[in-house]
Chain A
């Protein structure tokens, strides 16, 4: 029997990041997947990033992960979203070539030191004394390890629905993991069912592109990874936009009685923000058209992904509804759309490291935790991989706070509030949105990544050089003084200079940008990356300082740890409702406790008093 430090079960976005992270941290890692050919597969739409999501991707990137670099290597269409709304809410999205993406991830996995791949279905976990010590495959092979990470996506008890037909499956074309699902249901986890879906795919040769609206990528083209350049992107392709119409909606309404969603066949809860087309038509009956983004699946395929019409209606209805859409009149469906129901485990049962509370050494990441999206999955995979490696190396665990990363927001939301529907990231979930930007993910996390052993020398040196450039430029802006009569500067301002000013003070003014200031004062403006950071730092300074104050103010008490064995029933003064909620979540620290819905400030105070009392009782000598 072979021994590993860390075993990762599943080779999707969570599994690959988990395996790569653990291996980068020098843990001997095994990635077990049902099918090596589907490593890094994009099961849903062929895009990476978007609002809230590119924030996660860039955080993964800052911590040495693969997703952003894969998106750059495979990106055939790039856009900046919210480009005119200010840097904090700006986001990047890449349409990718599925094959290129998969190939890039596969190549990274195969060339990663300390990482082995193995193709098998995992049937069981080996658990001794509430601690996972390995896995057993379908062929009864045993692998032992200090930590096991489950990233099984939609495969646990997966059921695929097309109309009233249903079949077991983890994804179209792949078998579900039913043995493992049954086994996990015997463990003390709270199981729920969720639902997601995909649209039918269309053969591009049967589409009339002339009647679609072309949507080109952005120029200049953004880059997803801090470590890549736009010049390395493959050939670019446009996307297209079309719409459903009343005829489409009539067809859908007529098909509802054979819809698994509306005939009560599906119990799983779907996401409210990414509804199926039948949901959209029913819930927003007065809308006469819904937008469809027609996305290319790759450079060497004619297949298209019509994003916005995910459906589980019967296949004959799918054909009719597709052909009712402008430009799709003669469209050929190459793969039917479907809905999939799968098991997830209530994430309140997890620690902030994504280790399960009941079984030591067992980590969950990705859709198994009730999330949706490649980016959300990858981010969790990375975190689980890091902590599995840390545990195996007997090092202290690490998880970022809500003020540090979207990854922190994601995990804290999951473990504190749980989830009732597939959880997706949005910028409005982050309290410190002005600090947690996609542009500064490296400044927020790369140093930590380096300490953890995730960031290699090449990236680290690149990072240090960038910091140095930012610092120098910031000093230059603060030190450079311009005087009245400077016509180049006056041209940028509403009124001419009345006295001398530091460039950094002028930059605070609305409408004044750093590039113009630099060139007007005769300085080099060709380091756009450093200039952007300095500009944002100066323009957001007041807000960032205020958010920082909020963070500092509560940090001391919020980080106070609550023992796992805390008996909430004996805390004086807490209402039964609050006791129940605390017992339910078992928060790790006071901050997490304060964020549980229904836990009042007075309850937090009582908890604080109790914690100190408990500590004083245990260490009577320390009081004074």
Chain B
């Protein structure tokens, strides 16, 4: 039977249910049979059902993670039909992350996309008419999760994980071969120093984990790409957004010469901003390489912030200053867009940022452009930021979602942590008990855990690897 913990079961699930970037409250929601046990371990005795009480959320060692409201719904009178617990904390991605990890440590499993709704449906809490909507939700949420996972797996993290999984597979080839083919003359374990290999693996997971926890190599969040003609203010926008960050700014290793990346958190949404070389800036070969990368960035981005120096536009077209009707702005933008993005496949949400409005004299522009999606912006005064965030969230459907945010990064971290735990147990079984079959079991569990990131290795695939590595069989 598949041990993949992602497959439907009735274990206790947990997810962050907070609408992204709404105020200072973060909600963690748990549902399932162990809610009372997990909840009690986390906040002490649970309050009466449906009564909100303030509690401290505590770590295993008793230290306080956060303080907030606790709401307990006893099944079947709950959203999912099971016991449900909601923890309303003070939010912030870091605190939420710790709280979530604590719940997982206590036995909950991170919910799959759409799983709360799925359970609600299966427990007759959602009627038949809504079934299609549930299917839609699972479908779209899975797609979003998949996109998020692909993003998280880009670059350094992906190659590290693949290397790690390959090494683990190699070790398992020897271990399983020694179990299933004990009569072969090659003792598959003899020239393989299993202990050394295990220790290497453990060290490697620890190193990936620590780097991943620092966010150095594990990427996630929204990808925004800044594009625009030369002098449209991309760099100042980059600096402006970085200055706005509320928690983390990280330089990404491997930054290319012409695509500069920043990780910031805006309104509680982790965002990666890519500053690009301008499009159509030059015929220069090196510049053209920059353009190629820009186009690539657009392809992997969630949304494109298109910067336009509006002070230049209004100078060139007085009408835009005097009578900026939505229609006029729309037409002007359409012209510019065709000019700039010609030949580029632009299926991403595009937000025109009418930049440098602080330079436009003698006119009071209203805050709204009237043109959908376009915003007046000034990196000097900060004008336009709230509007831009609102449009972003609308465009990317980051609003209230019954199943909360799906975080690939967090999921990958828990997979790594679990894998690490099983590798350490494998070493223990071998060194303390010389129990090869138990070591093999732990290695399999480690592989299953890492399989959450890279895809599961089926037993027939492992056997195939054994047969191609050794000449086996009488």
**Which residues in A have some Cβ–Cβ distance to B below 8 Å?**
45, 51-52, 81-82, 85-86, 88-89, 271-275, 280, 283-284, 287, 290-293, 307-308, 401-403, 413, 417, 426-429, 431-434, 510-511, 543, 550-551, 553-554, 556-558, 572-573, 590-591, 594-595, 597, 600-602, 604-606, 608-610, 612-613, 616-617, 623-624
Measured CB to CB, the nearest residue on chain B to A279 is B471
Is the beta-carbon distance between A573 and B459 smaller than 8 angstroms? no
Q: A601-B8, A612-B122 are in contact. Are A274 and B139 (CB under 8 A)?
A: no
Is the beta-carbon distance between B142 and A604 smaller than 8 angstroms? no
Query: Which residues on B sit within 8 Å (CB–CB) of A623?
Result: 124, 127-128
Per-residue contact bits, chain B 269-290, to A (CB 8 Å; 1 contact, 0 not): 0000000000000000000000
Question: Would you call B182 an interface residue if the criterion is a C-beta within 8 Å of the partner chain's C-beta atoms?
Answer: yes
Is the beta-carbon distance between A573 and B463 smaller than 8 angstroms? no
Per-residue contact bits, chain B 217-242, to A (CB 8 Å; 1 contact, 0 not): 00000000000000000000000000
Query: Which residues on B sit within 8 Å (CB–CB) of A572?
Result: 132, 135-136, 139
CA distance A431 to B473 in the complex (A): 23
Query: Which residues on B sit within 8 Å (CB–CB) of A590?
Result: 8
Query: Which residues on B sit within 8 Å (CB–CB) of A602?
Result: 112-114, 138-139, 142
Query: Which residues on A sit within 8 Å (CB–CB) of B436?
Result: 85-86, 89
Measured CB to CB, the nearest residue on chain A to B109 is A553
* 8 Å CB contact of A606 from B9, B135, B464: B135
CA distance A543 to B118 in the complex (A): 31
Query: Which residues on A sit within 8 Å (CB–CB) of B180?
Result: 51-52, 426-428
Q: A434-B437, A604-B7 are in contact. Are A558 and B1 (CB under 8 A)?
A: yes
Is the beta-carbon distance between A609 and B118 smaller than 8 angstroms? yes
* 8 Å CB contact of A612 from B121, B183, B474: B121
Per-residue contact bits, chain B 424-446, to A (CB 8 Å; 1 contact, 0 not): 00000000111111101100000
Query: Which residues on A sit within 8 Å (CB–CB) of B121?
Result: 609, 612
**B256 → chain A, closest Cβ, in Å?**
34
Question: Would you call B4 an interface residue if the criterion is a C-beta within 8 Å of the partner chain's C-beta atoms?
Answer: yes
Is the beta-carbon distance between B179 and A429 smaller than 8 angstroms? no
Is the beta-carbon distance between B1 and A573 smaller than 8 angstroms? no
Query: Which residues on B sit within 8 Å (CB–CB) of A45?
Result: 474
CA distance A601 to B460 in the complex (A): 20
Residues of chain B in range 1-38 having any CB-CB distance to chain A below 8 Å: 1-4, 6-11
CA distance A573 to B460 in the complex (A): 29
Is the beta-carbon distance between A81 and B182 smaller than 8 angstroms? yes
CA distance A616 to B125 in the complex (A): 13
* 8 Å CB contact of B8 from A88, A287, A432, A557: A557
Query: Which residues on B sit within 8 Å (CB–CB) of A284?
Result: 471
Interchain residue pairs with CB less than 8 A apart (29): A272-B468, A273-B463, A274-B473, A274-B474, A287-B471, A292-B474, A293-B183, A307-B474, A401-B1, A417-B460, A426-B180, A428-B179, A428-B459, A433-B437, A511-B433, A550-B3, A553-B11, A554-B1, A556-B10, A557-B10, A572-B132, A572-B135, A573-B138, A594-B4, A601-B112, A602-B142, A605-B138, A606-B135, A613-B131
* 8 Å CB contact of A273 from B128, B179, B433, B467: B467
Query: Which residues on A sit within 8 Å (CB–CB) of B467?
Result: 272-273
Question: Would you call B462 an interface residue if the criterion is a C-beta within 8 Å of the partner chain's C-beta atoms?
Answer: yes
CA distance A616 to B8 in the complex (A): 19
* 8 Å CB contact of B184 from A291, A511, A595, A616: A291
CA distance A600 to B128 in the complex (A): 24
Measured CB to CB, the nearest residue on chain B to A286 is B471
CA distance A601 to B139 in the complex (A): 11
Measured CB to CB, the nearest residue on chain A to B122 is A612
Query: Which residues on A sit within 8 Å (CB–CB) of B139?
Result: 572-573, 602, 606
**A61 → chain B, closest Cβ, in Å?**
22
Q: A272-B467, A429-B460, A604-B8 are in contact. Are A403 and B1 (CB under 8 A)?
A: yes
Query: Which residues on B sit within 8 Å (CB–CB) of A612?
Result: 121-122, 131
Q: A51-B179, A85-B437, A605-B8 are in contact. Are A613 and B128 (CB under 8 A)?
A: yes
**Which residues in B have some Cβ–Cβ distance to A below 8 Å?**
1-4, 6-11, 112-115, 118, 121-122, 124, 127-128, 131-132, 134-136, 138-139, 142, 176, 178-185, 432-438, 440-441, 458-460, 462-464, 467-468, 471-474
CA distance A572 to B135 in the complex (A): 7
Measured CB to CB, the nearest residue on chain B to A612 is B122
* 8 Å CB contact of A553 from B10, B438, B460: B10
Query: Which residues on B sit within 8 Å (CB–CB) of A308?
Result: 473-474
Q: Identify 14 new A-B residue pairs, CB closer than 8 A, beyond the known A429-B463, A510-B433, A606-B135.
A: A45-B474, A85-B178, A85-B179, A292-B474, A431-B3, A434-B437, A553-B10, A553-B11, A557-B10, A572-B135, A595-B2, A601-B7, A601-B112, A608-B122
CA distance A307 to B179 in the complex (A): 20
**A246 → chain B, closest Cβ, in Å?**
15
Is the beta-carbon distance between B118 and A605 smaller than 8 angstroms? yes
Is the beta-carbon distance between B176 and A272 smaller than 8 angstroms? no
**B30 → chain A, closest Cβ, in Å?**
17
Q: A602-B139, A609-B118, A612-B122 are in contact. Are A428 and B463 (CB under 8 A)?
A: yes
**A569 → chain B, closest Cβ, in Å?**
14
**A623 → chain B, closest Cβ, in Å?**
6
**B422 → chain A, closest Cβ, in Å?**
11
Q: A543-B438, A572-B132, A613-B131 are in contact. Are A81 and B1 (CB under 8 A)?
A: no
Most buried by B among A88, A287, A602: A602
Query: Which residues on A sit within 8 Å (CB–CB) of B463?
Result: 273, 426, 428-429
**B414 → chain A, closest Cβ, in Å?**
16
Is the beta-carbon distance between A402 and B113 smaller than 8 angstroms? no
Is the beta-carbon distance between B8 and A608 smaller than 8 angstroms? yes
**A189 → chain B, closest Cβ, in Å?**
23
**A572 → chain B, closest Cβ, in Å?**
4
CA distance A500 to B136 in the complex (A): 61
Query: Which residues on A sit within 8 Å (CB–CB) of B124?
Result: 623-624
Is the beta-carbon distance between A429 and B459 smaller than 8 angstroms? yes
Is the beta-carbon distance between B179 and A553 smaller than 8 angstroms? no
**A122 → chain B, closest Cβ, in Å?**
33
Query: Which residues on A sit within 8 Å (CB–CB) of B135?
Result: 572-573, 606, 609-610
**B238 → chain A, closest Cβ, in Å?**
36
